[in-house]
Amino acid sequence: MSKPMRVAACHASAVFLSAKGTTEKAISLVHQAAKNNANLVVFPETFIPAFPVWSSLRPPTENHSLFQKMAQQSIYVDGPEMGAIQAAAKKYSTIVSIGISEKVRYSSACLFNSNVIVGLDGKILVHHRKLMPTFFEKLTWSPGDGYGLRVAETAFGKIGNLICGENTNPLARYSLMAQGEQLHISTWPAIWPTRAPRTAVADGVGERNSRSNVSGKEGEKRVPVNYDNIAANRTRAAAHCFEAKCFGVLCSGRLDQNAIDIISEGSSDEGHVRTVLEQSPAAATMFLDPTGALLPGYTINGTSGEKQTKEYLQKEEDILYADMDFADCVEGKQYHDVVGGYQRLDVFDLKVNRIRRHPATFVDTPVLEE
């Protein structure tokens, strides 16, 4: 029998490209959320040490120093930064889900976009590497494997995670549904630039809704518009919540001025890069219920303790809270239990390989002493 759970989603900016600084900030946020009785604290995609949005804006020939810094500041899953996060989870008796850029000991520059869920006792429950880096992310991260397609068994219920574009992969999502997932964590970057900021209608014909890509009045010229971050992320997460009949938390990062300065400086077109960073639609942090509908959250004033209802956080840095009862995941299963009574297991058969991949398997002959 599950018990009610308070989830804290940290809509926060990293101390950009600083593993130490961002780890310290994460621990501070865990402490703050725990004081407000949070049972689960969630951080954005690759919160430690940063999301490499520069690869969407600067040519690869200008990114060598940024990649080198990213490799230096990425962290080991068994390293001191994760150790400190684990210690904080245990100290404050709080589950922690955190995105990291993970490095490995068999290579000086092989990185993974990873998410780690830490239990109340400080032990790692799930260590997931993003199956496939998306678009420009391939310039930074290697493809992961199926090892982390697992749900965390907790005292509150079953918690799963997918990273950003993985929430577009129906087989990855189904893999978590098939393990009885009751809370789905999806993590996202602060922005996702696909085009330079532009007006929606060309040649001075007039303005159109920036979310529409459909030509309106006769004579209007279709002009590609920017990526609608909130709509895209919510659509994917809501589809999963509706299909799985589970709660959802979308936790997105933020770009502060320091990050914008670091990414822009040294570019051959610094003004353009800065403009795109400042004007691209920002992602939002929000909660969804088991029907896929918005579940309003709230912030908590650090001085008065007063709660303020918020549908989502986008521009301001804060912690968004929501209270969930996983018993509410049951009703929808009467209609569509897509891994149970509403599935044709005799027709469809999904096989998921959860073997952790390594670059080589070494078989050594024991050396006999003379």
The 10s digit of each residue's pLDDT in 6-65 is 999 999 999 999 999 999 999 999 999 999 999 999 999 999 999 999 999 999 999 999
**What's the rounded Cα separation, in Å, for the pair 196 and 174?**
35
Give strand pairing partners of 48: 100
Contacts of 136 (CB under 8 A, 6+ apart): 52, 55, 56
Q: How confident is the model at residue 197 (pLDDT cuts 50, 70, 90)?
A: confident
Mean pLDDT of 198-226: 49
Q: Which residue has the higher pLDDT, 50 or 211?
A: 50
pLDDT at 1 > cutoff 80: no
What is the predicted pLDDT for the residue at 215?
A: 42
Q: What's the order of all strands across the beta sheet hosting 158-163?
A: 152-153, 158-163, 183-188, 247-252, 286-288
Retrieve residue 31's tokens: 């402490």
Q: Do 50 and 263 form a contact (C-beta atoms < 8 A)?
A: no
pLDDT-based confidence at residue 213 (cuts at 50, 70, 90)? very low
Other CB atoms within a 10 A radius of the CB of residue 134 amount to 16
pLDDT digits (tens, 9 = 90+) for 116-162: 999 999 999 999 999 999 999 999 999 999 999 999 999 999 999 99
What pLDDT was estimated at residue 368? 74
How far is 33 from 98, CA to CA, in rounded Å?
Answer: 14
pLDDT of residue 208: 40
Mean pLDDT across the chain, nearest whole number?
A: 93
- Best CA proximity match to 101, nearest among 91, 93, 109: 109
CB 216 within 8 A of CB 166: no
Average pLDDT over residues 282-288: 98
Residue-wise pLDDT for 104-122, tens only, equals: 999 999 999 999 999 999 9
Task: Answer yes or no: are the C-beta atoms of 251 and 43 closer than 8 Å.
Answer: yes
Residue pair 319/300 in contact (Cβ under 8 Å)? The answer is: yes
Whether the per-residue pLDDT at 370 is higher than 80: the answer is no
220 pLDDT band, cuts 50/70/90, is low
pLDDT of residue 211: 43
Distance separating alpha carbons of residues 46 and 102, to the nearest angstrom: 9
